[in-house]
Amino acid sequence: MVDQRIEAVVNNLSSLILDHAKLMASEQHAPSRTSDSSDEYIAEHKKWVKELREIRARFEDLVTGVV
């Protein structure tokens, strides 16, 4: 049961990371906003990706006992 919950958290975090990365990449390759707005949009999603990756790494370390 615990392993399933751990897997669910890791999978959901990974899904969020991919969603934000796809939005960021889409805007980079085919901008749909003004230049400044596009830069802000990309920066915001880049921030989400970075922070979610950090959360996932800390969570994985926590549940595996990595110090």
Tokens in use for 44?
């915001």
pTM reported for the whole predicted model = 0.90
Tokens in use for 59?
């969570």
Domain count for the chain, please give it.
1
| Biggest distance spanned by C-alpha atoms of the chain | 48
Q: Which of 14, 13, 22 lies closest to 46 in space, CA to CA? A: 22
For 8, the domain range is 2-64
Contact criterion met (CB below 8 Å) for 9 and 58: no
Mind listing the pLDDT tens digit of every residue in the chain (67 residues)?
789 999 999 999 999 999 999 999 999 999 999 999 999 999 999 999 999 999 999 999 999 998 7
